Amino acid sequence: MRNFVINIILLFVLIFNINAQTFPIPQSVGKNHPRVLTRNTTKEDLNSLIKNKDWAQKIVSKTENRLKPILKNIKKDKDWLRSRLQMYWNAKSTQVYINGGVFDHAKGNAPEPTVKYPGTRNHTTDYIRPKLEDIKPFMDDLRGLYLQHKSRKESWEWTSISKTGKIVESINREILSIAKDAAFLYWYTGKEEYADVAYGVLNTYLTGIYYREIPIDISHGHHQTLVGYSSFEVIQEHILGDISICYDFLHNYIKNKHSEKINLFDATLQKWADLIIQNGVSFNNWNLLQAAHISNIALVLEDNDEYENGKGGPYYLDQIMNQTSTRQWSMKKLMDYGYDNKTGIWNESPGYSMNVLNDFIHFAEFYDRNFNIDLIKEIPVLKQAVKSAAEYLSPNKFMVAFGDGHYKHLRSEPIKYLIENARKYNKVDDEIYFTKMYKTIYNDDTNEEFIGKKLADLFSHEAFLFKEDVKATKLTDFTSPLFYAPNTSWLVQRQGEEEKDALMISQIGSLGNHMHSNGIAMELYGKGFPLAPEMGHGSSYFSIEYAEYYTQFPAHNTVIVNGKSKYPEMKSNHAFKVLGMYPKSQKKQGNLEGYTFSDVEFLEPETNSNQRRVMGIIKNDIGGFYVDIFRSKQKENKDDKHEYFYHNLGQQLNLSNTNNQPLALKPTSSLAFGDGDLMAYDYMWNKESIKTNEDFKGQFSLKMEDRTVNMNLWFKGEDDREVFSVMSPKSTAFRHGPLPKEFNNNPIPTLVVKQNGEAWNRPFVSIYEPAENGNTEIKSVNYFGAEESVGIHIVEKSGKESFVFSNTKNDDVLAKNQFSVTGTYGVITTKNNDFTLFLGKGKSISNSKYILEVMGQPASASLKKEKNQWFLGTDGATDLKIKVNHKIKKARLIDASGKEYVGKYNRKSKSVIFHLPFISFQAIKMELN
């Protein structure tokens, strides 16, 4: 009768889940053991593998050799291994108390020894983690642990558990991993000596958890919501991986020899899973790490109807996939919260975003392998997320590093699984796409024989094979000229394909997790490196420099108001707003090449200030340059100062006037906490400055063995300015490349420009040009405009001239010579008889003869003449006016598809006018007769 009722309930749940569009849950996790690693692998299959593959034999031999000394010691002392578990052997404490992230004390009296709790949440300790043979057996003393101090290695001493970091955890994990190996060898060989070893450890440990209560934080703080039974963080309960495999391989032995323990072991795992669901963090990668631990438990438990409480494997899989509690969200809720369905970007800094994607994909692979359920089909945003992961890449194929990020390679596992998934479920186009993606990003076009290294490889040993006829292509096939992820306030611009000549801007606000207090920050790429880099998170999240410097405005390329700009970091909610951008986000085709721009605004909350940053790329044949216009003002006119910070890789920064005379910088004590500024200012040194209202230029130099990489800069002068050259702490984002390792600890030369008073009518206006070996392609940079309007005239050695126009309002007009722009951003370039009109966002752009006028809302438009060819693009209804000296009888414009537009002559304006709709940027033909 009980089974009948349970089945009716399960049927109701299944029907409800279908109606609620929940994810599919297997009705059974299996009837036989083992199942966690093996699935369909038999001992006969394994024997055949070991016979035919040297690597398989080596894994088994290595496992046996690991157990040999353990068995030898156990023959002398049957408790040799289990006695080294860190337990409350004598006290048998049931209740552990912590004070925040530190162990405080334990009390209570269980009928059996209970598992000891570690010392702290982090690994930091002055004591050495001992080898197993050096651990006192059955060690449980009020004095703590018997250990060696790092500075006094010749002697041992008792020390409080609160000073021992995670040594307790580490010892217990090692012993359980030995038990796991022993359990496998028992299943494989049938030798009960292995089973006795594994059971002795597993029984002692799981019984010790069974009698333990949930740890209590006596400070009544946040840590109470994070604790697990073996660790300060439920996400660190990695020991469950070894426990589940050990129990699985040993299950039949326990059932036959110690059947009375099955209920206790299962009840222990159930309450452990319940605690992981109860505690943790729901909105980020914690949720997935918790789900991974719960899934380990789910696979080793039986089906729901085997338990009075109905909490079997399918129950816990449903908890992961479909049920939501305060600190363990369903997969659907987590994805809806964290992923942007259009961009496929997760709302954390890049490294954490990739970890989350890897965890999601790992979970999809787990589901696929165990239950033949295709979660990629059920959760389409995962495929988009794998595609969009390439957007994190710079032209050197290293990821950007905003927030708590690092410069490193993209994780390959998600792409590989999408290839395997596509092959299994016959998704031909997907297999081709992701194979190209993989081969392009990793420069890997080879199929190699699989060589296993760990125990799990004995049961999952298929070689990863590529389609050999699918070839690598170029990185720009998988990235966009402009990509904007609103859910993490990140915008990236790109131009060019070659690693050394391509340009890229990464702009970041502060929205999501693992973000910094940085306003409108930016990172610039050049010549193979993130030359204007992000700084990473310092030595650790728990360090003083993390709180005082690395997460604060002065560690970023941004503008600080009154020395006080600041807001909460880590989980932050301060995004910038995009006012304009070109091209449209994720639009890969039909764009004007060589030009991008963004216009973003930000409310700096600490000082209640308006900030606005316009940035653009202007590309040429061998490189190009960046435009940066930063406006900033305090809304209540309480502007004390605004400081522009720019960090660049190198050993030095040289500053000079426009006549190439070095600026007469002098040592200064300014930029200091003592002046009432942020504490981060005190992290800078070698401070030199000069007060000047003149334009200036500079060069950062990164000298390497084979070349010198430079960043050349030109900066517009203003009244009440002071220019600083300082040194800043190293960037900790370079632990994984792309800099040569010997440069990773170098301090960062930094330019600081202080504007006394407001910086809105006197904005920070600069040009940056990546270069090599002291060269530059820019001949001169001059400025025009007044108040809120900014104009820049850049002349290159090739003869190309670029006029940049920036206004704060779409109706404002800025003119220079015969050129004019009505709008917030425009560029006019000329070279010989060729020209380009690029209106980033606005109403019109003109070089006097050719005029583009946007009808309706401000938009982008462009017209280009190059080598007697014409190109045109519009974002909407636009008039193209061509000034002529005489009446035109016939005017035609023909786009690439052959569609014809007829122009009309306007006698009053002496021009031919074409009324154009949206036209994706393309080659055109023009006929004027």
Q: Dump pLDDT digits (tens) for 367-388.
A: 898 889 999 999 999 999 999 9
* pLDDT over 50 at 251, yes or no: yes
* pLDDT over 80 at 5, yes or no: no
Confidence of residue 889 (pLDDT cuts 50, 70, 90): confident
CA nearest to 189, candidates 247, 249, 248: 249
CB-based burial, 785-797: b 16+ in 10 Å, e otherwise: beebbbbbbbebe
Neighbour tally for 364: CB within 10 Å: 23
Element (H, E) at 183: helix 167-189
What are the tens digits of pLDDT across the range 161-170?
A: 999 999 999 9
- The residue length of the chain stands at 929
Confidence of residue 22 (pLDDT cuts 50, 70, 90): confident
Confidence of residue 21 (pLDDT cuts 50, 70, 90): low
Q: Which residue has the tokens 């019984």?
A: 207
Q: Which residue has the tokens 């940027």?
A: 921
Strand-strand pairing, 652-657 and 696-703 = antiparallel
* pLDDT over 90 at 784, yes or no: yes
CATH 2.60.120.10 correct for 495-778:
no
What pLDDT was estimated at residue 9?
A: 37
Phi-psi region of 570 (alpha: psi -120 to 50; beta: other; left: phi over 0): left
E strands of 436-520, at which residues? Answer: 482-485, 490-495, 503-508, 510-515
* pLDDT over 90 at 451, yes or no: no
CA 194/CA 888 separation, integer angstroms:
97
Claim: this prediction has a pTM higher than 0.75: yes
CA nearest to 178, candidates 132, 115, 135: 132
Q: Which residue has the tokens 């070279």?
A: 831
Tell me the percentage of the chain whose pLDDT exceeds 70: 97
Tell me the average pLDDT across 47-72: 94
* pLDDT over 60 at 8, yes or no: no
Q: Where are the domains of the chain?
A: 25-338, 342-479, 495-778, 790-929
What are the tens digits of pLDDT across the range 479-519?
A: 999 999 999 999 999 999 999 999 999 999 999 999 999 99
What are the tens digits of pLDDT across the range 203-249?
A: 999 999 999 999 999 999 999 999 999 999 999 999 999 999 999 99
E strands of 509-608, at which residues? Answer: 510-515, 521-526, 529-532, 559-561, 570-574, 577-582, 595-604
Two tokens, residue 106: 């334990």
Q: State the number of CA atoms in the 13 A half-sphere of 270 facing the CB.
A: 20
Tell me the average pLDDT across 878-899: 92
Confidence of residue 12 (pLDDT cuts 50, 70, 90): very low
DSSP 3-state percent helix, strand, coil across the chain (nearest 5): 30, 30, 40
What pLDDT was estimated at residue 54?
A: 93
Confidence of residue 599 (pLDDT cuts 50, 70, 90): very high
CA 812/CA 807 separation, integer angstroms:
6
3-state secondary structure of 359: helix
CA 222/CA 286 separation, integer angstroms:
15
DSSP per-residue string spanning 272-313: HHHHHHHSS-SSSHHHHHHHHHHHHHHHHS--GGGSTT--SH
CB-based burial, 687-718: b 16+ in 10 Å, e otherwise: bbbbebeebbbbbbbbeeeeebbbbbbbbbbb
CA 752/CA 683 separation, integer angstroms:
14
Phi/psi of residue 824, nearest 5 degrees: -90, -20
- Averaged pLDDT score across all residues of the chain: 94
Q: Which residue has the tokens 């426990």?
A: 243
Tell me the average pLDDT across 800-806: 97
Preceding omega of 763 cis (within 30 degrees of 0): no
What are the tens digits of pLDDT across the range 149-160?
A: 998 888 899 999
What are the tens digits of pLDDT across the range 627-674?
A: 999 999 999 999 999 999 999 999 999 999 999 999 999 999 999 999
**Helix crossing, 192-210 with 239-257: angle to 10°?**
110
Confidence of residue 541 (pLDDT cuts 50, 70, 90): confident
What are the tens digits of pLDDT across the range 320-345?
A: 999 999 999 998 899 999 999 999 99
Two tokens, residue 421: 């998934």
* pLDDT over 70 at 14, yes or no: no
3-state secondary structure of 148: strand
Which residues, 6+ apart, have CB-to-CB distance to 665 below 8 Å? 655, 688, 689, 690, 723, 725
Tell me the average pLDDT across 414-425: 95
CA nearest to 436, candidates 445, 428, 447: 445
Q: Which residue has the tokens 């690092």?
A: 406
